[in-house]
Amino acid sequence: MELKETIQSIASDIREEIIGVRRHLHQYPELSFHEVQTSAYIKKKLDEMGILWHPVAGTGVLATIKGTLGAGKVIALRADIDALAIEDKKETEYRSKNKGVMHACGHDVHTSILLGVAQILKAMEYRFNGTVKLIFQPAEEILPGGAARVIGEGALTDPDVNLIIGQHVMPTLSAGKVGIRRGKFMASMDEISITIKGKGGHGAQPHLIIDPVLAASSVIVILQQLISRKNNPAIPSVLSFGKFQANGTINIIPDEILLEGTFRTMDEKWRQKALQEIRQLTESVTEGLGCTCEVNIRNGYPSLYNPASVVETIEKFMEEYLGKQQVEECDIWMASEDFSYYSEVVDSFFYLLGVGEEGRESLSLHTSVFDINENAVETGMGLMAYIVLKYLDV
């Protein structure tokens, strides 16, 4: 039997089992660096397959499968395992049982698919040479992220990894499709926290106060002009503030305001310049209005880059397995991913796995009703296994 047909057959045989794994993980989500039960479950599944593993980055797991045909190239596959602090409001039998925690970003899908890939590769280890590393990574959702720890603990060395692959579910792509992009793909991400202090008082006596609400409002408006007037329009950039905390009332101006937001871009030089100007503009605006401020910027993940040569190679494998019409060129995505840390130290390929379903609108990421078309599980594990075996054979 040919490689493609063999993988498709195994993926079909284990489809319901791996969907069950996904549903179990979805019911028992855990927050970043607290994935204790998730990690134990992954280890149990790997033990059942006879795959060697060891802990990495605290709650992470690093497993290894070696082809029996001898030494060769080394490829790493990464799945993130953490969940989000969101209440699951779906009416399904597999909704989260952990109150206030939910797999709203599809990490349960990534993890279950990688366990499915492990099962396929273990069954086919007699057919390939080289080494496959399976990285079940904790804490993608919070800074500083788990990827840096995984790298720091040597997961990409001994033996050295030649290529690392990761994927992310995408509801806007139908199940059965994948999205790829050459070059810059996902944005960098920095967290911004601004505390503005003034002098509170009665809303009917503005002449007796120093209004931090006005200052904070002015800061938000001015900083948006930084993006629209000082950035090269050819460089994608987003500055968003999601928290404006005043804690006053209808007629009481507070002493202090808290602003929290995020800055994202795809150019490192502009990133550093913009962060410096965010600080300087905030200080000058608040000072001009009689207030003081504290600006704290927490540097996050770099932008994610797919080398064109790697994409061209793997695109051919994807088209062989799925059909050319199922592989789509996608736009840049201003979300961020700590997979970008891997892409800074080794050749990498990150792609989008379609999990959408026509007629279902409740599939958006990071929402309380997020769900997937589970047909994507079979597609995802079969495709990744095929890419691995074709790459090791090139």
Same-domain check for residues 335 and 367: yes
Out of 248, 266, 299, pick the residue that ends a domain.
299
Are 108 and 218 in the same domain?
no
User: How many structural domains compose the chain?
Assistant: 2
pLDDT band at residue 393 under the 50/70/90 scheme: confident
CATH number at residue 240: 3.30.70.360
DSSP 283-338: HHHHHHTT-EEEEEEEE-PPPEEE-HHHHHHHHHHHHHHH-GGGEEE---B-S--T
pLDDT band at residue 357, thresholds of 50, 70 and 90? confident
- 175 and 58 fall within a common domain: yes
Whether 33 and 146 have beta carbons less than 8 Å apart is answered as yes
Chain mean position to CA 102: 15
Give the end of a domain, one of 279, 299, 319.
299
Confidence of residue 138 (pLDDT cuts 50, 70, 90): very high
Which residues form the domain of 20? Answer: 3-186+304-393
For residue 350, count other CB atoms closer than 10 A to its CB: 24
Mean pLDDT, residues 369-394: 95
131 and 219 housed in the same domain: no
Residue 67 has pLDDT above 70, yes or no: yes
Residue 145 DSSP SS3 = coil
Say if residue 245's pLDDT is above 60.
yes
Query: Are residues 78 and 54 part of one domain?
Result: yes
Q: Report pTM.
A: 0.93
Looking at 266, 299, 332, the residue that finishes a domain is 299
321 and 178, same structural domain?
yes
Q: Residue 364: which pLDDT band, with cuts at 50, 70 and 90?
A: confident
Q: Judge if 322 and 223 occupy the same domain.
A: no
Q: What's residue 359's pLDDT? A: 72
Residue 361 has pLDDT above 70, yes or no: no
Question: Could you tell me the pLDDT band of residue 325, with boundaries at 50, 70 and 90?
Answer: very high
pLDDT attached to residue 69: 87
358 and 388 within one domain? yes
Residue 74 CB contacts under 8 Å (≥ 6 apart), including other chains? 130, 131, 132, 133, 159, 160, 161, 162
Q: Which of 67-71, 92-96, 224-228 has the highest mean pLDDT?
A: 92-96
Please check the confidence at residue 70 and state whether its pLDDT lies above 90: no
Spatial CB neighbours of 243, under 8 Å, sequence gap ≥ 6: 258, 259, 260, 261
Tokens of 296: 């704290």
Residues 25 and 147 placed together within one structural domain of the fold: yes
User: In the structure, what pLDDT confidence band is assigned to residue 254 with cuts at 50, 70 and 90?
Assistant: very high
Task: For the chain, give the mean pLDDT.
Answer: 96
Same domain, 111 and 248: no
> What's the pLDDT score for residue 180?
98
Claim to verify: residue 264 and residue 283 sit in the same structural domain: yes
Q: Are residues 114 and 42 in the same domain?
A: yes
Predicted confidence at residue 1, as pLDDT, reads 67
Please provide residue 169's backbone torsions phi and psi, each rounded to the nearest 5 degrees: -65, 145
Q: What are the helix (H) ranges across 28-103?
A: 36-49
Is the pLDDT score of 371 beyond 60? Answer: yes
> What CATH number has the domain bearing residue 47?
3.40.630.10
